Amino acid sequence: MIFEDLKAFAERLDRAYFIDNEYKQYADYDQPLPIGYEQTISQPSLVFQMTYILSPEKGSRVLEIGTGSGYQTALLAEFSGEVYTIERISALAEKAKKRLLGLGYTNISFMTGDGSLGWEEHAPYDRIMVTAAAAELPQELLRQLAAGGRMVIPVGPRGCQELMLVEKDINGEIFTRIIEEVVFVELKGKYGWSYWNK
């Protein structure tokens, strides 16, 4: 992925298009904003950074967990081959789908459901982007990551997590690197928070 291409696209993409509440007027601020249902759209600089770290290629098959507003999905769809995106809140999923189809993307498959389980049908994935915080690395997602693949995921307790870059080498060995501290809403579902906090 070429930094300048991503930068040019991110500057062109209107974040206000992905917000449909009273916070729309703040779309240009580099701040997370509420998108309803107790969920948030991340600040653009973080979405940019996570996309650049994930570094999808033109032919990449990408799994995204937490479609939310669809803003991050647009960046992924622009710079990869196929995007499979999962959102558990159907109202958010439907709105995001409408927006992304409205932008003309034909390489995105949408699912409403529990993304902590991944999306077995289309696995393995070259890239996995998780935009909700997991308590631990979800084993099921690691399994669905292709050899030579990368995953970007916030991991840690509620309120403060570490953004991690996870790489699976061609032998299937896992390497992790901490990028920085972040705050995301929690990843729910079977292998989300409840699994680790029973």
In the complex, the residues that contact ligand SAH under the rule CB under 6 A are 39-42, 65-66, 68-69, 71-72, 86-89, 92, 114-116, 131-132, 185, 187-189, 192
Nearest approach, Cβ of 17 to ligand SAH (angstroms)? 12
Name the residue nearer to ligand SAH (CB basis): 48 or 149: 48
Nearest approach, Cβ of 101 to ligand SAH (angstroms)? 16
- Pairwise CA distance, residues 166 & 143, whole Å: 12
Name the residue nearer to ligand SAH (CB basis): 25 or 90: 90
- Pairwise CA distance, residues 125 & 144, whole Å: 6
Choice among 42, 60, 69, 116 that is catalytic: 42
Strands (E), the chain: 33-36, 39-41, 61-65, 82-87, 108-112, 125-130, 145-155, 161-168, 174-182
Nearest approach, Cβ of 112 to ligand SAH (angstroms)? 8
Name the residue nearer to ligand SAH (CB basis): 133 or 166: 133
Name the residue nearer to ligand SAH (CB basis): 26 or 175: 26
Measured CA to CA in angstroms, residue 65 lies from 19, 25, 137, 138 at distances of 19, 27, 13, 12
Name the residue nearer to ligand SAH (CB basis): 56 or 115: 115
Measured CA to CA in angstroms, residue 123 lies from 8, 97, 184, 192 at distances of 31, 21, 25, 19
- Pairwise CA distance, residues 1 & 7, whole Å: 11
Q: What is the DSSP letter of 196?
A: H
- Pairwise CA distance, residues 163 & 181, whole Å: 6
42 is catalytic: yes
Nearest approach, Cβ of 83 to ligand SAH (angstroms)? 12
Nearest approach, Cβ of 61 to ligand SAH (angstroms)? 18
Positive or negative, the CA dihedral 144, 54, 75, 112 is positive
Task: Give the residue numbers annotated as catalytic, written as ranges.
Answer: 42
